[in-house]
Amino acid sequence: MSNFEVFSTDSRSAARRGLLTTACGEVETPVFVPVGTAGVVKGITPQQLKETGTVLVLANTYHLLLRPGVETVEKLGGLHKLMAWSAPILTDSGGYQIFSLSPLTKIDDDGVEFASHIDGATIYLNAEVATKIQNRLGADIIMCFDQCTPFPCSESQLTKAVERTIHWAKRAKQAHNNAEQLLFGIVQGGINLPLREQCALELVKLDFDGYAIGGLSVGEGHENMMRTVSHTTRILPQDKPRYLMGVGTPANIVAAVKAGVDMFDCVLPTRNGRNAFAFTENGPLRLRNNMYITDTLPIEAGCDCYCCRNFSRAALRHFFNVGEMLGPILVSLHNLRFYQRLMAKIRQVLKENRFADWAEEQLRK
């Protein structure tokens, strides 16, 4: 039985609306997944997160491996218990953080030896180890170990990374031993379309529960990203979820849904929220600006989030100005709700078969 069902498609684009079934519940797609790096979305309680409309949250394998450690998570009853989150959880493989945060000491076809960014301790990860760690953490959706590449990147580097990603995906599939977890393969290849195609075709042969598009939003720009995404989604199976990792802005999300993507994760709502940057339908507000000193309006009229129902722009500016921790929490809450309202709207216009016109209007904005 398939874990993913497509309910409706857009007649003028590749956009679709579906339902992903996991061990801990159902997820309507397209879906946005907030990032809870160390087992918590920064400054947000699980109850608050639920109230934003969030149904799936991401935790970071690399960070949890370093602190508190897999054994500790197990002793505490698993990741759901640690996070006090009974709904679905997704963990990444740790591959991206190894390549972005740590000075590498050694990488070969077997795996990666790296220095912890906390204390410099040497740690070894490969496809089997990363998969078994995620099996033990107990998330509902887990990711294959892959090799991310920077942008720009030489063709020879990209080719090697794609070969390793395919090789490691085969080993991850073999090592995966928790039938309750869905395992996703990750397509790499930078913005090189033939390499993306090669990687996607080889991963499809392995019949994963879903497929992620990794290695984007690293400086390649919107047009390169969307060309790569559109090319890749056409190769991936219609009956499996497609997940664009680490993306993105509201415009990127609308464009990627149009290209056939079902799932997104990004730190933008909370990272920007902690820096007084609020998303609205009419563009961002930078709440530290003096223009908001006596502004009695909420961040966004019509928003039903806790922040907009109770606080003015002036109050938020004051909180940031005096270093009050409530400011970052409130704007993070608003931004998370903004993203979840955006996804709900996307699902609604898809249901009504008017996504294409709506998306064009949003992208013009």
Domain boundaries, the chain: 4-266, 275-365
Mean predicted confidence (pLDDT) in 338-360: 97
Percent of the chain at pLDDT > 90 equals 91
Question: Would you state the pLDDT for residue 360?
Answer: 96
Q: Comparing 349 with 100, which gets the higher pLDDT?
A: 349
Collapsed DSSP state (helix, strand, coil) of residue 296: coil
The span from the CA of 221 to the CA of 205, in Å, is 30
Q: Is the pLDDT at 99 greater than 80, yes or no?
A: no
Strand (E) or helix (H) holding 59: strand 57-59
Q: Is the pLDDT at 203 greater than 80, yes or no?
A: yes
Question: Would you state the pLDDT for residue 1?
Answer: 58
> What letter would DSSP give residue 301?
T
Burial of 215 (0-12, 13-18, 19+ CB in 10 A): buried
Rg of the chain in Å (alpha carbons): 20
Question: Would you state the pLDDT for residue 115?
Answer: 86
Q: Give per-residue pLDDT as tens, 21-35.
A: 999 999 999 999 999
**Is the domain defined by 4-266 classed in CATH 3.40.1130.10?**
no
**Which tokens is 140 given?**
């509902």
pTM of the model: 0.97
Mean predicted confidence (pLDDT) in 235-247: 97
**Angular region, 79: left φ>0, alpha ψ -120 to 50, beta rest:** alpha
Q: Is the pLDDT at 269 greater than 90, yes or no?
A: yes
What integer best gives the mean pLDDT of the chain?
96
Give the residue from 96, 171, 164, 91 showing the smallest Cα distance to 127. Answer: 171
Collapsed DSSP state (helix, strand, coil) of residue 365: coil
Length of the chain as a residue count: 365
The span from the CA of 236 to the CA of 202, in Å, is 10
**Which tokens is 61 given?**
């394998």
Catalytic sites, residue numbers: 92, 265
Q: Give per-residue pLDDT as tens, 116-163.
A: 888 888 989 999 999 999 999 999 999 999 999 989 999 999 999 999
Q: Is 113 within 8 Å of 124 (Cβ atoms)?
A: yes
Q: Give per-residue pLDDT as tens, 63-98.
A: 999 999 999 999 999 999 999 999 999 999 988 877
Question: Would you state the pLDDT for residue 100?
Answer: 79
Diameter of the chain by CA atoms?
Answer: 61
Alpha carbon of 354 to those of 130, 226, 258, 330, 342: distances in Å? 42, 21, 12, 33, 15
CA dihedral sign, ordered 145, 150, 156, 158? positive
Question: 264 pairs with which residues across the strands?
Answer: 32, 244
Percent of the chain at pLDDT > 70 equals 99
Q: Quick one: pLDDT band at residue 102, thresholds 50, 70, 90?
A: low
Q: Is the pLDDT at 335 greater than 70, yes or no?
A: yes
The span from the CA of 123 to the CA of 114, in Å, is 5
